[in-house]
Structure 1
């Protein structure tokens, strides 16, 4: 097999495979049924045309028969008038019309025979079409039932095209979800270990530990100072008199400070009232 022959064979096989996949048996059956009905209609039209031709010949034959009768009367009248010449002419025309009638009768008989054959074939074709229509509807019902059953089976088994696409989409979604969850967990872990701080800072681990120690010492010192101010610290014991005197001084300072604060509040309230009046 040459290259061109093989190429042609491959192309025809590909086209045939595409047509088989694209072909819908129900549509093919309907198309075949419509073609058969078209053929039946053409047969009926042929019978009608043939019948028309036969009727035209019958009309022509009837007119010739009328002419035959007319020529016959002409010949009798010519004989009564002793016009043998006219009688002969009338009989000659009568003979010619009789020959035409005989020829027409043959044609009419042939057309009638053809018409009878066509009517018989038409009836046979019509019966076949009705039989095909019954088979067509049965085959369509069987095909649609088989197609529905196949779709249900594919859906339940998950081997259909749409179900396969859905399964792949779910699988991809699960993979993306697992990836995002793993990435989120990794980010949390890096955040807890301070890896992000390491990336954004030029300090090493020793600098951070020293800085944390300094911060802790400052907090401890501030805490001790606060305890000492509130008399809860571990400051050296003093004379009770000195302590009482210190308490009195603190109370006086607090009273003075309270008085000052009250006076400042009242002064601010008066200023606000004056501003509101001026605004009105």
Structure 2
């Protein structure tokens, strides 16, 4: 194989690969179906044209038949008038028209045969188109289902580059989370065991527990002291309240006595005024 042949072969293979990647089977099937429908339409148009031509010949045949009848009447009329020359001319025209009618019959029969063949082919083509349409829709449905299934499978299995990156990120996050959880657990364990004691302190865990116990005892003792002090201070306060209430009651009683004395004096004064007024009236 020469260089030019190999170059041509490589170029054709590359172009074919590009076309295969760019080709959409559903679009190809739709295009093929439209082409077949166009062909069917052309066949129907051809049948219509053929039928039109046949109708024209039939019309021409009817006119010739009318002329034949006319020439026949002319020949009879010429014979009745003893005009053999005119009768001969009429018969000659009649025979000429008869020959034309025979030719038209032959052409009409041929056109009818062609029309019948085209109608049969049209029916066959229409049936094939219907079958192709059904198969096309089935193939499109299968292709779309397979394409959707492939996309779902790729998404679930992480075949794509994006899913691979996501899987790597998840793995790194899990590793880092495990490391942080382990570090936190280790810190808690060291804290509980006292491994993080202050370097400046000489106390160990036992000393800290004893100090905590002493602090609790001191708090309890101070609380008892406060309770005792609060119990002693309550009695004087109650006595003072009682004395205050007694003083208030005595003051109220004295005030009532004073008000009673004032009321009696006012009554006596009014009675005295009334007596004086009566005496003055009697003297008059």
Aligned to 1:15: 15
> What SS does structure 2 have at the residue aligned with 1:159?
coil
Aligned to 2:135: 135
Count of residues in correspondence between the two structures: 172
What does 1:84-99 align with in structure 2 at a 5 Å threshold?
Answer: 84-99=84-99
- Deviation at residue 165 of structure 1 after TM alignment: 3.6
Aligned to 1:24: 24
- Deviation at residue 169 of structure 1 after TM alignment: 7.8
2:50, 2:111 within 8 Å by CA — same for their partners in 1? Answer: yes
Give distance in 2, aligned partners of 1:170 and 1:158.
Answer: 8
Ranges in structure 2 where 5+ consecutive residues have no aligned partner: 173-284
**Does the alignment pair 1:112 with 2:112?**
yes
- Deviation at residue 168 of structure 1 after TM alignment: 4.1
What does the per-residue CA deviation read over 1:113-163, in whole Å, with 9 as the maximum and x for residues that have no partner? 000000001001101111111111111111100000000001111113xxx
2:72, 2:91 within 8 Å by CA — same for their partners in 1? Answer: yes
Aligned to 1:63: 63
Provide TM-score, normalisation by structure 1: 0.59
Give distance in 1, aligned partners of 2:48 and 2:30.
Answer: 27
- Cα RMSD (Å): 1.9
Provide TM-score, normalisation by structure 2: 0.58
Aligned to 1:125: 125
Give distance in 1, aligned partners of 2:96 and 2:166.
Answer: 94
> What SS does structure 2 have at the residue aligned with 1:82?
coil
Give distance in 2, aligned partners of 1:141 and 1:74.
Answer: 75
What does 1:1-280 align with in structure 2 at a 5 Å threshold?
Answer: 1-160=1-160, 164-165=161-162, 167-168=164-165
Give distance in 2, aligned partners of 1:90 and 1:169.
Answer: 103
User: Larger Cα Rg: Structure 1 or Structure 2?
Assistant: 2
2:54, 2:111 within 8 Å by CA — same for their partners in 1? Answer: yes
What does the per-residue CA deviation read over 1:180-232, in whole Å, with 9 as the maximum and x for residues that have no partner? xxxxxxxxxxxxxxxxxxxxxxxxxxxxxxxxxxxxxxxxxxxxxxxxxxxxx
Give distance in 2, aligned partners of 1:168 and 1:91.
Answer: 102
Give distance in 2, aligned partners of 1:24 and 1:126.
Answer: 25
Give distance in 1, aligned partners of 2:71 and 2:165.
Answer: 98
Give distance in 1, aligned partners of 2:41 and 2:65.
Answer: 36
Cα distance, 1:18–1:12 mapped onto 2, change above 3 Å: same
- Deviation at residue 171 of structure 1 after TM alignment: 5.9
2:155, 2:163 within 8 Å by CA — same for their partners in 1? Answer: no
